[in-house]
A and B are shown apart, each in its own frame.
Chain A
């Protein structure tokens, strides 16, 4: 028996998964950043059909505090000083009033017209890509074989156990690493079936043309300003997913994970199966 662990390369991701994944990386990053550009045109959010300008549930703006401009973010009536990031940001001496800072928007300078042009173009790419992924996932068995948890995986004891091992950053090794664990499966399903479609539905609900075509959809979200709020919150949910996803990608083997999403091959350490 060799001293080094026995590593084998297994086929991890299909071509469709890999291509749609990277197109999604491109589209979602640009949608998030052009979305913040659009948000900056009116950095405040409301609930209901119409804006109640005196009482947004969240707002970001510049205010004079003690004779000095500060970025003030108000959430549910509670004020936070977010100078440099939200409300009032930019290099020292060239600060400007903007909701999100220039490093978070596309383009970096203020342009609602450009932001919209980027947003709607990449929205089309995003939707087409998502449809390809769904159709192929359903027809080709990816959803059934790889994403739907097994009955055994859904037992509360198993889920609790997985949460406990995840929290200690212990990742599956050996044979167990061949397939997604239950937390991965549920998270990916949540993103692909709930969060991403929710972005499309709330986005469409903000279109006055689409409202006339399908008046029922906007009612589901409680009106146009609620739809804008939910669009923003769901985008925040996607950002949280991306951050956790990237941290776990790095911690569980950056190069191995990257290779598997580029070439499809994933290295498994069979040594991990030994007692």
Chain B
């Protein structure tokens, strides 16, 4: 191949490459195009729900598999004054609120949560970033707590409101962490509000006093510092309306993939 031809090919390749990159960036900023891409989330959720038994369990591991370097993520220590006050009192003043579309709103002390039917499981925590850690969790069955509060038939989602502000720069009031799941995951046998990790009280960096475990989804669904469990018919009007702190910022609401 002649030198001219080689140069020409290299220039054409480089030109096409930069056009391609600029084109992709422009498409990524285009809301119509993003709307098209987001269809895939519906397909992934639909396909997974189609092939998965509602009660199919996430893999559970042996004690020997537990990570000694379980990585905390998101908020490590909430700076919010209300949380700081609860922490200073060793959560004696903590109440877990369960309200929204329920017949019997509840405000449970930690002792009451610990006395509820519980489950212990050693599971793998998969972060959306790509890493995994294995931990042992003990917590109250969410389904048992919801049954005690008696969900109204209109309830479709369970929202977890948290004590931590993860984005202090948000000016629209959507800087607090929150997450939501549907009733299939809310009533899944491995879905618990955990108060113990690796046989010790849940550490602050992992969400003390209570964190959600919803084992068939990625880490950001596992809300830490849970203060209030709200049953709703729609996710509109909560945060920025996408059902969670990270979903409000472009991540999938269905994080089974």
Contacts and interface: CB of A to CB of B under 8 A. Distances in A.
Contacts of B172: none
B235 interface: no
Contacts of A206: 126, 130
A251 B1 CA distance: 8
B25 A103 contact: no
A109 B65 contact: no
Interface string B61-93: 100010101010000000000000000000000
B37 A117 contact: yes
A33 B249 CA distance: 21
B52 A50 contact: no
Interface in B121-142: 124, 126-134
Given A51-B131, A112-B129, A208 B252 contact: no
A42 B28 CA distance: 21
B56 A213 contact: yes
Nearest to B26: A107
Interface in B104-154: 124, 126-134
A121 B40 contact: yes
Interface residues of B, number: 51
A42 B132 CA distance: 11
Contact of A209 (B20, B28, B39, B257): B257
A143 B41 CA distance: 33
B124 A49 contact: yes
Interface residues of A, number: 47
B253 to A, nearest CB: 12
Contacts of A129: none
A54 B131 CA distance: 12
B58 interface: yes
A233 to B, nearest CB: 15
A210 to B, nearest CB: 6
B37 A124 contact: no
Interface in A78-117: 103, 106-109, 111-114, 116-117
Contacts of A214: 51
A53 B65 contact: no
Interface string B5-30: 00001000000010011001100100
B130 A228 contact: yes
B250 A111 contact: yes
Contacts of A120: 40-41, 44, 257
Contacts of B36: 121
A40 to B, nearest CB: 9
Contacts of B216: 208-209, 211-212
B189 to A, nearest CB: 11
Given A54-B69, A120-B40, A215 B24 contact: no
A210 B58 CA distance: 9
A179 interface: no
Contact of B48 (A44, A51, A121, A207): A207
A53 B124 contact: no
B56 to A, nearest CB: 4
30 contacts: A29-B20, A41-B128, A42-B129, A42-B130, A44-B131, A50-B124, A50-B134, A103-B17, A109-B25, A112-B128, A113-B251, A114-B28, A116-B252, A117-B37, A117-B38, A120-B257, A206-B126, A206-B130, A208-B58, A208-B257, A209-B52, A211-B58, A211-B59, A212-B52, A212-B59, A213-B56, A214-B51, A215-B59, A218-B59, A251-B1
Interface of B: 1, 9, 17, 20-21, 24-25, 28, 34, 36-41, 43-44, 48, 51-53, 56-59, 61, 65, 67, 69, 71, 124, 126-134, 215-218, 246, 249-252, 256-257
